């Protein structure tokens, strides 16, 4: 019996590559634990990942047969339990939810999104700018996403901390996961009840009006998914980009001088340090041999976007594109919006604070535990103090 690789250990957060090497040593489909005693197959081979992601006949996204095999208080349930949303649906139900989400997001104009990001950066820099020091995770990347998403979803800025706190606990998949899931659920329920009563120019109101005629309950679950899927990975994408470029002053100066576009740094992170490290969770509809491994039904089969990215770094085919947005019918439907948010956030911040410098070497930064994400706990920096309202500046 192969020993499962324990992706829930703190050391996984410290040194994921060692764990990905151990998984890869087992072949394209390895065996891991997502939490103590919660086992899963983990796909680290590119061919196997693509085969799985495109095969809706053999594999399902519906976790319910698995759920009946795990403890009610398992910390991974927040991220894995079934809900009537796009991520956990197959076939026609999936197309209905996904189409409603895509159509709704298509109504968000890039210039509007750009402006929202600029406004949020301005607000955050006005808070920490005069101090000359900040934590770019806790004071920038995370609150930035909460501000941008709250705006898109029709909530005031004052609610951002509540959203940020609840989602953080759920995504870590640890002792506070159930509490975070409950807080986040309450948050979304209140939001949809308010929009059903008084629609506005926001995503939930448009989802409620979509011709797919989602019920208010279904809209609640799509919003639950979208806020969760959007906030955490995008905040981590931004902080991973910032930590990479700030850790390399030469690289940073090519970005601030405009010699290289920020998009290069974003794409580099998607290749080497993708924020959604292990997800894309499928379940075999019947037992089968898959790329050399016997796969039982009702056991999660996880795609390791992190291991696939790591492979690109350590000598995979040079032309291999990363799979950080996934592939096939469930691939991230909001990729363009995300790229715009991340690039604008980094660009705007570095325009305001061009001499950002990390106060710790990159090797000393710490990462949040959890099998699903690649997420810094903090990114402390210093810079010349400034206020965004300083006269004569037009950043």
Binding site for ligand HEM (CB under 6 A): 86-87, 98, 101, 225-226, 229-230, 233-234, 237, 270, 274-276, 279-281, 305, 324-326, 330-334, 337-338
Q: Of the two residues 275 and 358, which places its CB atom closer to ligand HEM in the complex?
A: 275
3-state DSSP of the chain: CCCCEECCCHHHHHCHHHHHHHHHHCCCEEEEEEECCEEEEEECCHHHHHHHHCCCCCEECCCHHHHCCCCCCCCCHHHHCCCCCHHHCCHHHHHHHHHHHHHHHHCCCHHHHHHHHHHHHHHHHHHHHHHCEEECHHHHHHHHHHHHHHHHCCCCHHHHHHHHHHHHHHHHCCCCHHHHHHHHHHHHHHHHHHHHHCCCCCHHHHHHHCCCCCCHHHHHHHHHHHHHHHHHHHHHHHHHHHHHHHCCHHHHHHHHCCCCCHHHHHHHHHHHCCCECCEEEEEECCCEEECCEEECCCCEEEECHHHHHHHHHCCCCCCCCCCCCCCHHHCCCCHHHHHHHHHHHHHHHHHHCCCCEECCCHHHCCECCCCCECCECCCEEECCCCCCCCCCCCC
In whole angstroms, the minimum distance from the beta carbon of 334 to ligand HEM comes to: 4
Least distance between ligand HEM and beta carbon 69 (Å)? 20
Residue 65 or 333: which CB sits closer to ligand HEM?
A: 333
Question: Considering the complex, what minimum distance in angstroms separates the CB of residue 130 from ligand HEM?
Answer: 30
**Distance of closest approach, residue 86 Cβ to ligand HEM, in angstroms:** 4
CB of 234 to ligand HEM, least distance (A): 4
Q: Which is nearer to ligand HEM, 274 or 293 (CB)?
A: 274
CB-wise, 223 or 381, nearer to ligand HEM? Answer: 223
Q: Measured between alpha carbons, how far is 106 from 112 in angstroms, rounded to an integer?
A: 12
- Rounded CA gap, 343 and 269, in Å? 12
Q: Which is nearer to ligand HEM, 210 or 382 (CB)?
A: 210
Q: What is the closest distance, in whole angstroms, from the C-beta atom of residue 363 to ligand HEM in the complex?
A: 24
* Residue 387 C-beta: closest distance to ligand HEM, Å: 29
- Closest CB 178 distance from ligand HEM, rounded Å: 21
**Distance, first Cα to last Cα, the chain:** 59
Q: 95 or 194, CB closer to ligand HEM?
A: 95
Q: Which is nearer to ligand HEM, 223 or 353 (CB)?
A: 223
Which of residues 134 and 225 has its CB atom nearest to ligand HEM in the complex?
225
């Amino acid at each position: 019996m192969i020993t499962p690789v324990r992706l829930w250990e703190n050391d996984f957060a410290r040194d994921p590559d060692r764990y990905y090497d151990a998984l890869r040593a087992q072949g394209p489909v390895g065996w891991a634990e997502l939490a103590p005693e919660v086992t899963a197959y983990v796909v680290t081979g590119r061919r196997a990942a693509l085969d799985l992601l495109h095969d809706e006949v053999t594999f399902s996204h519906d976790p319910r047969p698995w759920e009946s095999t795990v403890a009610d208080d398992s910390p991974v349930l927040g991220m894995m339990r079934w809900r009537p949303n796009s991520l956990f649906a197959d076939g026609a139900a999936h197309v209905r939810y996904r189409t409603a989400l895509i159509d709704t997001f298509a109504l968000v104009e890039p210039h509007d999104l750009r402006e929202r990001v600029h406004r949020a950066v301005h607000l955050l820099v006005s808070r920490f700018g005069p101090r000359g020091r900040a934590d770019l995770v806790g004071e920038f990347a995370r609150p930035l996403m909460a501000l941008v998403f709250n705006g898109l979803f029709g909530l005031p800025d004052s609610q951002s901390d509540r959203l940020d706190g609840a989602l953080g606990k759920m995504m870590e998949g640890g002792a506070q996961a159930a509490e975070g899931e409950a807080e986040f659920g309450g948050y979304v329920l209140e939001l949809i009840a308010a929009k059903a009563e008084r629609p506005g120019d926001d995503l939930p109101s448009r989802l409620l009006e979509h011709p797919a005629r989602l019920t208010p309950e279904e809209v609640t679950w799509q919003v639950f998914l979208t806020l969760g899927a959007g906030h955490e990975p995008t905040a981590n994408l931004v902080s991973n980009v910032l930590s990479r470029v700030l850790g390399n002053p030469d690289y940073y100066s090519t970005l601030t001088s405009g010699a290289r576009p920020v998009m290069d740094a974003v794409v580099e992170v998607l290749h080497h340090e993708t924020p959604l490290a292990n997800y894309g969770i499928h379940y075999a509809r019947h037992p089968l041999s898959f790329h050399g491994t016997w796969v039982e039904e009702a056991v999660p089969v996880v795609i390791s976007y992190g291991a696939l990215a790591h492979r690109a770094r350590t000598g995979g085919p040079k032309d291999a594109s990363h799979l950080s947005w996934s592939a096939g019918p469930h691939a991230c439907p909001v990729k363009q919006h995300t790229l715009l948010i991340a690039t604008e956030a980094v660009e705007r911040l570095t325009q305001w604070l061009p001499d950002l410098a990390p106060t710790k070497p990159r090797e000393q930064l710490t990462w949040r535990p959890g099998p699903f994400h690649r997420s810094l706990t903090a990114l402390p920096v210093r810079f010349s103090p400034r206020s965004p309202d300083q006269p004569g500046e037009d950043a």
